[in-house]
Structure 1
């Protein structure tokens, strides 16, 4: 390293090699994203002389703090709640009261859900947090997370480059996703499998005319489809 008298700081030289940490592109880019996301420098950010960067704006869903606080309390205390929920189901056009026993939160990449046992349909479901308009604790939970089979069970997926891509394109996709032997293995909670399928466009990969729009596909397709069918039933 060399010392810059005008800047009063050290800079790396052309022969610099880190000794205390390993170079990590993901860590650098995640910190750059954290700064670019809100224009602030959170604690622990060590970047300097940052390049100009911006993020594609994604509308944030508002979650009522009092609702979140009440659901958190219900999860911690294993309680049941009554929520006022606005469904997008055409058969339920207006907000309605629903009894649920929440036990966990899940994120699909864009939105937060509360995983809960529905007292009306008598099964575990996801409820979008931003559509929970009101909430109050009503008593003891009617079911626990141990009874939520889809939440407790996982599927080991094997992803590979879309075989309809050229060999060179497949190689770069394998590199993009840190694949080993042309495969990426991921363990996915079955309760989140529907969102995983939609987020990576795995549901439309074979139907698309341009394989570039769905660069990865599932190698163990039969097991994936069976698990997905169970998750949606």
Structure 2
């Protein structure tokens, strides 16, 4: 994001109006003086001064249409107050009912229909989260009743959590005295309320899988046609035919699951498996491929 986004010389109220204007430029392809005036209930003169200020901040971003009074983004448009990404728009849609960013929520509330499907949330008692946070902050042992899929009934475990992680579901990364190893524990599978115990000396320092990172490289399925490969590479923002992310070893299985990739990618049809894992040997060596 441009340094302009945090320029203290830009008054807060004007910054909000300009962010709204830039959001319209990105998402709708046009903004007018009336959009700012009517949305924020300001005078026409103030809205005109807002757009004049924006043109000074980013002189190459706007093209004026004098017949309609609209301003359009230029071919060289570069956001200076927003990220300008599809993910930004998705976040606004996800929180439209309780907007966290009011100017962006107002900019997304036009006539364009947009619908989101979200996976069901894995609910758990929020007091479990509070106990885990306390145990992490105060470096204390925690006794939990945990229902795994390898045992028919919950088991009492003694753990020393050091971090929380969210990868579609909430996990606690912790040393398990019962297993004598670092493990992941799903918060939604903790039964009842954890019990805070005595202080412990276990920390994240000894968790090799948490402290170290592994590259995960993806590419288009080799059996796609050249045209299909190009669109898949564009879809995933690949450069020179691949995209790489550095992920904590402990979180690598969840990342692979989110992308739907793994050991058998190339055995599936390219129409079913459009992207493949390029460095499966790296993950296999760390025992992170299912």
Tell me which interval the TM-score lies in, with the shorter structure as reference length: 0.7 to 0.9
8 Å contact from structure 1 (residues 200, 214) kept in 2: no
Matched with 1:137 is: 196
SS of the residue aligned with 2:232?
helix
SS of the residue aligned with 2:223?
coil
Map 1:115-194 onto structure 2 (within 5 A). 115-133=173-191, 134-141=193-200, 143-194=202-253
1:146-196 C-alpha deviation (Å, 9 max, x unpaired): 100001110122221111111111111111111111111110110011122
8 Å contact from structure 2 (residues 253, 289) kept in 1: yes
Matched with 1:69 is: 130
Matched with 2:70 is: 13
Matched with 2:254 is: 195
Aligned-pair distance for 1:84? 1.3
Matched with 1:29 is: 89
Unpaired runs of 5+ in structure 1? Answer: none
Larger RCO (alpha carbons 8 Å, 6+ apart): 1
> What TM-score, normalized to structure 2?
0.69
Aligned-pair distance for 1:142? 5.1
Number of residues of Structure 1 aligned to a counterpart in Structure 2: 224
SS of the residue aligned with 2:149?
coil
Aligned counterparts of 1:23 and 1:113: Cα–Cα separation in 2: 29
Aligned-pair distance for 1:140? 2.0
Aligned counterparts of 1:138 and 1:160: Cα–Cα separation in 2: 47
Aligned-pair distance for 1:20? 4.0
Matched with 2:144 is: 83
CA RMSD of aligned residues (A): 2.6
Q: 1:86 to 1:213 in 2, by over 3 A?
A: same
> What TM-score, normalized to structure 1?
0.84
Matched with 2:116 is: 55
Unpaired runs of 5+ in structure 2? Answer: 1-30, 40-46, 48-67
Aligned-pair distance for 1:8? 3.5
Q: 1:42 to 1:23 in 2, by over 3 A?
A: closer
8 Å contact from structure 2 (residues 265, 277) kept in 1: no
Q: 1:181 to 1:120 in 2, by over 3 A?
A: same
Q: 1:31 to 1:158 in 2, by over 3 A?
A: closer
